[in-house]
Structure 1
């Protein structure tokens, strides 16, 4: 499988801008500004956490003892409505290497989270290909569930008590912690080394709040995608990128001049997000996750996409149920 090296992006942009032999307007002696990704917030707006009661963030709804067979969803259920439509609509990230990205040869969306979506579609339809993927930003994840544009979101979304008030989650399908991505040789090892320096994460993520809460007072910078943060790190516009370690490993795999460092500063269990109005779908998805944990699908997907970057395949996260 070919790897798309994000390190080349700024170089290609610069090469494309300087291809003419005789520029009409000379800028000799004028320092060119470094191009920025769109919609950058520098410094980022850091939303205050909303009121949230105590909860067990990993605890979801227990699945039925036996899942309905594909093509035989209970009448009137959310699953039956999805089956009648003929496809499952899933919000995903198409720019997260190893998780959800375009294969450069086939053009298909592939990755660990894409495999999770196909597994749910297989449980619903008997056909893993009956999925319509909706590419969204981090900030879009909850709105597309609430307004019905997507049946679910599989986009490394942290399960926390505040979000449980807005949407529902499946059981945990991936464990992670927030750390740092820096340039090799930068001397940055921990958040303590980033006092007053810029650290990038995606808008709408828990990572932005965590950056702002660090005692060293780094300056949070927000972008629409983690890949934009990598470009800004490459261009020297930020000093570090900070998000969950599994995503940082994907960035480091694309750019070997970077490395993941630092003590983890948060616990970030990822769950599949769904509407609070569809508890039957939540239970069904949890049953599908039980199946892929048991039959080796989860393990084989992790081995294919993540083991080279994250090390030996762990056991799948154990499900936690609230009823």
Structure 2
């Protein structure tokens, strides 16, 4: 009788998780309409995901080096004429591309779909607050986007149907510096693997030997690493979002999920009885806030905000709130500055 009741409770709990995931997926699909985007903003049409290619070997040594921060986060020094931060302040609205389903990083409240929570969300709100002036608050508007949409939408800008800023656990690397601008590093995650608790695979070599189906979002560095020759045998499965991967894992349609330790900690927290994170790590993922390639001055402004955010203890408070329990103690990363502003 006890076994039957336990099995029933587990089934009900898993069914509830799947229901929540379905609801989150529906919200993500609806992200191109209100309330995430004003009615006068054109919808973005995503292209079908191309087959993943192997992550390119680093072609630079300064992937985590950003622009020098502006000397102030308010006043004329921070808001030169023609700058993106000036346009945002005048508009009164900062549009930020975020994840809608990365629990602990950036996710919608399933009961209040206009409310977002997470580490990336806290940082985005700090940028909006810094842009505000006495008597004129800059509101932050969160737009749910996929990993594959991060680069095209931030370069499109708000007037082109995109966003001002991407706060969506985006890894800084040499190739991406050719496509967008980045703030300084605000978090360093590790790529790891999530499997079912009953999985026979206890390590990455086990997954390779089993020719496991490993899931990750299209356009992510996580999926690109899975087609590296050293992991030959693994079958990459790319989808739109990590919660889609979780549903597939629960259904037995994939064998593992790969992604940043922060993301996997969030997935595990949503279904702790059925999933576990493996210890294997296959690379660091330094996160940066992405801006339009043509607006490095906004990255400079964001760097000044980030510098104050860390010095004030807000970074540490946010980390302790969301990740300390799952990932242990951690200190803020040390910003690296000195990147030259591209010639216009």
Same fold by TM (over 0.5)? yes
Alpha-carbon distance between aligned partners in 1 of 2:57 and 2:207, rounded to the nearest angstrom: 30
Question: What is the SS of the residue equivalent to 2:128?
Answer: helix
**Is contact 2:72–2:78 with CA below 8 Å preserved after alignment?**
no
Give, in angstroms, the shift of residue 112 of structure 1. Answer: 0.9
Counterpart in 1 of 2:119? 112
Alpha-carbon distance between aligned partners in 1 of 2:217 and 2:266, rounded to the nearest angstrom: 15
Of 83, 106, 112, the residue aligned with 1:100 is 106
Pair 1:46-2:52 in alignment: yes
Counterpart in 2 of 1:243? 259
Counterpart in 1 of 2:199? 186
Counterpart in 2 of 1:130? 139
More helix by share: 2
Of 232, 249, 258, the residue aligned with 2:248 is 232
Question: What is the SS of the residue equivalent to 1:243?
Answer: strand
Cα gap change, 1:11/1:151 in structure 2, threshold over 3 Å: closer, same or farther?
closer
Alpha-carbon distance between aligned partners in 2 of 1:136 and 1:224, rounded to the nearest angstrom: 9
**Is contact 2:108–2:116 with CA below 8 Å preserved after alignment?**
yes
| Structure 1: 4+ residue segments shifted above 3 A | 9-14, 48-53, 69-72, 104-107, 126-129
Alpha-carbon distance between aligned partners in 2 of 1:236 and 1:70, rounded to the nearest angstrom: 57
Give, in angstroms, the shift of residue 73 of structure 1. Answer: 2.7
Question: What is the SS of the residue equivalent to 1:268?
Answer: strand
Alpha-carbon distance between aligned partners in 1 of 2:21 and 2:302, rounded to the nearest angstrom: 42
Cα gap change, 1:192/1:52 in structure 2, threshold over 3 Å: closer, same or farther?
closer
Gaps of 5+ in 2: 1-12, 23-46, 340-344
Between the two proteins, the alignment pairs up a number of residues equal to 292
**Is contact 2:92–2:138 with CA below 8 Å preserved after alignment?**
no
Pair 1:67-2:84 in alignment: no
Give, in angstroms, the shift of residue 56 of structure 1. Answer: 1.2
The two structures have a TM-score, normalised by structure 1, of: 0.83
Pair 1:300-2:317 in alignment: yes
Cα gap change, 1:244/1:85 in structure 2, threshold over 3 Å: closer, same or farther?
same
Higher deviation after alignment, 195-204 or 75-84: 75-84
**Is contact 2:70–2:77 with CA below 8 Å preserved after alignment?**
no
Counterpart in 1 of 2:214? 199
Counterpart in 1 of 2:184? 171
Pair 1:208-2:223 in alignment: yes
Of 271, 288, 291, the residue aligned with 1:255 is 271
Give, in angstroms, the shift of residue 123 of structure 1. Answer: 0.9
Alpha-carbon distance between aligned partners in 2 of 1:86 and 1:199, rounded to the nearest angstrom: 42
The two structures have a TM-score, normalised by structure 2, of: 0.78
Higher deviation after alignment, 277-286 or 301-310: 301-310
Q: Deviations over 1:47-72 (max 9, x none)?
A: 35579742411100010232324998
Alpha-carbon distance between aligned partners in 2 of 1:319 and 1:12, rounded to the nearest angstrom: 37
Alpha-carbon distance between aligned partners in 2 of 1:13 and 1:206, rounded to the nearest angstrom: 23
Counterpart in 2 of 1:315? 331
Give, in angstroms, the shift of residue 215 of structure 1. Answer: 3.0
What is the CA RMSD across the aligned residues, in angstroms?
2.6
